[in-house]
Amino acid sequence: MAKMQKAIIYKGPGKFAYEERPIPEIKDKNDVKIKSYGCSICGTDVNIFATPQRHPCKPDIIFGHEFCGEVVEVGENVTSVKPGDKVVIDPHGPCGECENCLAGLPEACKNIISRGVFADGGLTEYVVLPKQYCYKVAPETKPEFMGVAEPLAGCGCALEKLNVHVGDTAAVLGAGPIGLMFIALLKANGCRKIIVSEPIEHRRKLALEVGATRVVNPEEEDLVAIVKEETDGLGADVAVEAVAAMLVDCIYLVRPHGKILQFGHDELTHPEFPVAELLKNEIEVYGGYLGKYYMRKVAQIIESGILPLDKIVTDVIPASRYQEALDLAASKQCGKVFVAIDF
């Protein structure tokens, strides 16, 4: 009889349960078995549990896609990691056979399966997955910092499209966990000014701690006017939309030939778009989603300490109090929340 482990199971919109599931074993020569440290809460997770539901999820799977852990066993062909290594995980599994995969675009795979959303994830004790999804980090790396690897890879990969230069001015809309990561990355890329729009006071304070040079409460201040003031009337070089509903505002924030990154999203938000402004000012708009090829670089960034992850990750909550962690993330009175396995 298989040995059992505890896990957090997604049971349908707004519901989860603590259940026992079989401990997985290595079946392939290229498999890696890890002991899960835990999992960060993503905005996608909050949207999955929202009412109405704002992102789909397969019922009865082990939940959690932003997970990390320690290698405990490897298949005979695995040389990239060994037992005892700490690893961050890429949870997204492309098929390798569709047109996009064959074109070298695995992040756009038509059949991609995301562990923790459409297949078993990391809110459990042990996970087995192929070696190519495991990226080694330094032994001293804190688990709660390891838990930001997947979203940070998405942010970093997307930001490369903007070709940010030293001395640029950036506008960031939203200072939730994703917005905070973009602020930190923009600062690390040499932006001279980073102007952040965020209605929640606690998050405005976090934005300043992470690297924003000015924060704006859009409910009380004119964001466009402030960006123009900070740029001698020109507009920002780049704008990052990190909240799903403010793409329209970005069009008016950037200078002619400026660049916009749309990263925030959910399944129910469909903002209007001022096409005339886009065309007249020859603005470039990019989308960002996953960062598969960026995972190795992110592992190096996390161990380097170049980003203020201690400011971005604000709370560590045990898995036995998962509802509390979800409620905190949904309240928006926090940065990134890491759920630590305590089973």
pLDDT at position 276 is: 79
pLDDT at position 66 is: 98
pLDDT at position 280 is: 86
Q: CA angle, 146 as apex, 145 and 151 as ends, to 5°? A: 90
pLDDT at position 268 is: 58
When the candidates are 1.20.120.1750, 3.20.20.70, 3.40.50.720, 3.40.50.300, the CATH number that belongs to 162-287 is 3.40.50.720
Reference 181, options 193, 196, 169; nearest CA is: 196
pLDDT at position 98 is: 94
Q: pTM for the whole thing? A: 0.94
Torsion of CA 59, 61, 62, 66, to 10 degrees: -80
pLDDT at position 178 is: 96
Class of domain 4-153+291-340: alpha beta
pLDDT at position 269 is: 61
pLDDT at position 54 is: 85
Q: Where in the chain is the domain with CATH 3.90.180.10?
A: 4-153+291-340
For residue 69, CA distances in Å to 39, 73, 124, 157, 336 come to: 9, 12, 11, 23, 18
Q: From first to last of the 343 residues of the chain, give the pLDDT tens digit.
A: 679 999 999 999 889 999 999 999 999 999 999 999 999 999 999 999 988 888 899 999 999 999 999 999 999 999 999 999 999 999 999 999 999 999 988 888 999 999 999 999 999 999 999 999 999 999 999 999 999 999 999 999 999 999 999 999 999 999 999 999 999 999 999 999 999 999 999 999 999 999 999 999 999 999 999 999 999 999 999 999 998 666 778 899 999 999 999 987 665 566 677 777 888 889 999 988 788 778 999 999 999 999 999 999 999 999 999 999 999 999 999 999 999 999 9
Task: Give φ, ψ of 265 to 5 degrees.
Answer: -165, 155
CA gap 328, 304 in Å, rounded: 29
pLDDT at position 99 is: 94
Q: Where in the chain is the domain with CATH 3.40.50.720?
A: 162-287
pLDDT at position 80 is: 97
Q: CA angle, 38 as apex, 87 and 208 as ends, to 5°? A: 90
For residue 36, CA distances in Å to 187, 208, 246 come to: 32, 32, 36
